Structure 1
Amino acid sequence: MVLVSAFRDGSAALRANPILLVAGLLVGAGSQLQYLDQVVDSPLVSAGASLGWLVVFPFVLGGFIGTARAAIEGTDTSIRQFVTTARTHYVRLLSATVAFLLIILGTAIGIGTVGLVFGIGSMALASIHEVAGFIGGVVSVIVWLVSLLVVIMFVQFYDAAIVIEEQSVTDSFRRSIGLVRANLTSVVGFSLMWTLLVNLFFIPEYLVQLTMTDAAPAEVLPVDLGVPVAVLLPVGIGLSAVGFAYFYTVYTAYYLRLISDAPLPTDAA
């Protein structure tokens, strides 16, 4: 089974190539920049760091996917190979990442506008029948969320298409959509399991995030952890490093198995 095999491939590659954890550490450190203002007490510095990370992330992602592929296939996984792969695909990945965010934002706004219309209708219905109005509102929110997740599912492989198959920005989205359509049941299962496991893995970090909000600890957690930010940040970095390294290695392994059954046409390679 492709799904189970991908998780096994990811685990084996990570054990045999600890260098993947180095890339994971870069991502882990970058993901914690959103909390920088709580350390330096400067929202402006934090915003600048977060924006800088959005620019740097495609570089790290490209290097990681290329290195993960090498680890899975048993070839070179050196730092030099990581940097070379990252540099080669950076411009396309950066452009595609911006396009991906615009697609998601556009979808959210578009479906949200339709949902707003239904929401207004639900409010009007609530004045006639309260339960029916409530159900209508809930259904509109569920439809919005599911529609957004479906769009994300169909375009999720754009980055792997760029790094692994040398696709252009536009063709990477087409390739992702084509692969999902051809393997819909498998991709739905993979997406659900991958997302569930990622979120389970990051539960400790989510708790860390809650303790760093402006709310009092007792309002977000049943107990006060009493752990300072200087300790919480390294914990978040460590969790993100291991989680990213493993789950994106699995992601790469899954993509490699998908394209082995659906290679590019000769004239499109």
Structure 2
Amino acid sequence: MAAIRSLKPAIGSLVRNPIILVVAAAVGVLQLPQFALQSMSPLLAGVGSLLFSGVFLLFLPFYQGGMLGMADEARTGTTDLGTLIDVGKSNYISLLLAYVVVIAVVFAFTLLGGIVAAVAGAGAVIGGGQPSTAVLVGIGLIGLLFGLAYLAAVLLIQFYAHAIVLEDTSVTDGFKRSISLVRSNLLSAVGYAVIVFGGGGLAGGIGAAASLLFSPQPALQSALPEVSLPLLVGGAVVYILVLALLGGFYATYSVTFYRDIAEPSHARL
């Protein structure tokens, strides 16, 4: 399976090119100010987080394109920051437009989910707040189908950026190429997604822990150790190191996997 076969060469690319880890770590450092904002007043924290998120979203297409370019170059040799800059700049507009499409898809699913929840709530009210077992089962099945549809959409379009950067496709063709490759290599794509989403879940957990450490909620303050400067520094270092490892590995692993399944001779169900 390509998902397993790609692990060893992906790690080898990282070992030969630690610069990829350095770039991922630098991006982790850039995210630290967002945690500091949480210690401010709610209004300032909200405005600051919104502005930071907007700037970071504009930066992401450059970063993603550059990292994919570096990871591809690292497969057969060494890479450097010049590749990050060149590939990131040359694919920025295409990746930014693709981001807009992805955000629109997520928004559509969120909107539909809200509508389903509203209808379910209305049904409960009409039924006097005591919906029948059949209604609850129906709502559960609809929610399950909705969740599966969302996961399927994410699975199908997850390689659009790779197609744009590595094969120089247009935005539309990038999504088409991703869907085609996933359909032709479904089992491998699912295995890959499990590995990548697992890493993403770990990163999310680390981020949540860092958020609690830098700005603990009143209800949790008694359960957490007293926050001191050494503890904050140690937490920040761990956060950056974990993001560096996960970000660097994702870049090399995803590119290695994509190149593997993109080869016609390696197409699998």
Assess if the C-alpha contact under 8 Å between 1:63 and 1:83 holds in 2. yes
Structure 1 match to 2:260: 257
- Per the alignment, in what secondary structure is the counterpart of residue 6 of structure 2? helix
Aligned residue identity for 2:251: Y
Assess if the C-alpha contact under 8 Å between 1:108 and 1:148 holds in 2. no
Q: Does 1:65 align with 2:41?
A: no
Q: CA deviation at 1:150?
A: 1.5
Structure 1 match to 2:169: 167
Structure 2 match to 1:244: 247
TM-score, with structure 1 as normaliser: 0.83
Q: CA deviation at 1:252?
A: 1.5
- Per the alignment, in what secondary structure is the counterpart of residue 60 of structure 2? helix
Q: CA deviation at 1:163?
A: 0.6
Q: Distance in 1 between matches of 2:130 and 2:109?
A: 31
Aligned residue identity for 1:19: I
Identity of aligned residues (%): 26
Specify which of 70, 74, 77 is matched with residue 75 of structure 1: 77
- Per the alignment, in what secondary structure is the counterpart of residue 38 of structure 2? helix
Runs of 4+ in structure 1 over 6 Å off: none
Assess if the C-alpha contact under 8 Å between 1:59 and 1:86 holds in 2. yes
Assess if the C-alpha contact under 8 Å between 1:126 and 1:132 holds in 2. no
Q: Distance in 2 between matches of 1:223 and 1:110?
A: 38
1:1-269 equivalences under 5 Å are 1-38=1-38, 42-43=44-45, 44-72=47-75, 74-121=76-123, 124=126, 127=129, 130-200=132-202, 203-212=205-214, 215-216=217-218, 218=220, 223-228=223-228, 230-231=232-233, 232-261=235-264
Aligned residue identity for 2:200: V
Q: CA deviation at 1:94?
A: 1.2
RMSD of aligned residue pairs (Cα, Å): 2.8
Q: Distance in 2 between matches of 1:182 and 1:107?
A: 25
Q: Distance in 1 between matches of 2:129 and 2:38?
A: 45
Q: Distance in 2 between matches of 1:110 and 1:174?
A: 24
Assess if the C-alpha contact under 8 Å between 2:181 and 2:261 holds in 1. yes
Deviations 1:77-115 (A, max 9, x none): 011122111111111111111221112212321354245
Q: CA deviation at 1:126?
A: 7.8
Q: CA deviation at 1:136?
A: 3.8
Q: Distance in 2 between matches of 1:170 and 1:39?
A: 42
